[in-house]
Structure 1
């Protein structure tokens, strides 16, 4: 980690309300990986924001929360490399709960960091 760069994930970097998710899902481009559906919507201004969805198909509450934590950690650590000025919604598929951070990183890095 280089000096001077802070890895943060403040509320301004999150999709938080349903209308924001719906707008992203309606107007964004969908990309599929083995364990995730990534919806990417370009926007003209504002920070890149992330929204994560994990249904009961992923597993129980513990597994769903773990997947969401891993995805937020990926976003937080790679924020500077991710496509600027976009809203990103990541939907976890069945089997995502079995992944570790390295597997999540390998699956999403080419898609989101270029």
Structure 2
């Protein structure tokens, strides 16, 4: 079983990635990626209140965490900070399609090689 990548937890870390990083959008998620951190890959997860109540937002983030664990698990490239932002489609989309969306966004941002 693949371990989850280390997490971004502080607001300023999220803001730094959002301000200086690149974006890759999909119907199910928004990926913000900041290269060149010199540290192991770290991932943060967020969902805005417009998605719904706390139950809906937490379910959205759980799906994103599992998708990131499966996609980035053991072979995660070092030196990146990533933020995954949940969208309305995150909780409605089939999980295999969510994984494909995440892989496509990671390739677009340059995190994964094609």
CA contact (8 A) 1:27 1:41 kept: yes
Cα 1:14–1:64 change in 2 (3 A) is same
Number of the residue aligned with 1:106 = 100
Runs in 1 of length 4+ with deviation above 6 angstroms? Answer: none
Relative contact order, higher structure (CA 8 A, sep 6+): 2
CA contact (8 A) 1:42 1:86 kept: yes
TM-score under structure 1 length normalisation: 0.81
| 1:14-25 alignment runs, 5 A limit | 14-25=7-18
Number of the residue aligned with 1:40 = 33
CA displacement 1:68-109 (0-9 Å, x = unmatched) = 111111111222444432000111122322123212101111
Structure 2 alignment gaps of length 5 or more: 107-111
Larger Rg belongs to: 1
Structure 1 alignment gaps of length 5 or more: 1-5
Number of the residue aligned with 1:8 = 3
Offset of 1:46 from its aligned partner? 1.2
TM-score under structure 2 length normalisation: 0.81
Give the CA RMSD over aligned residues: 1.8
* 1-structure distance, mates of 2:93, 2:54: 16
CA contact (8 A) 2:24 2:31 kept: yes
The answer to whether structure 1 residue 74 and structure 2 residue 64 are counterparts is no
CA contact (8 A) 1:57 1:93 kept: no
Aligned residues: 107
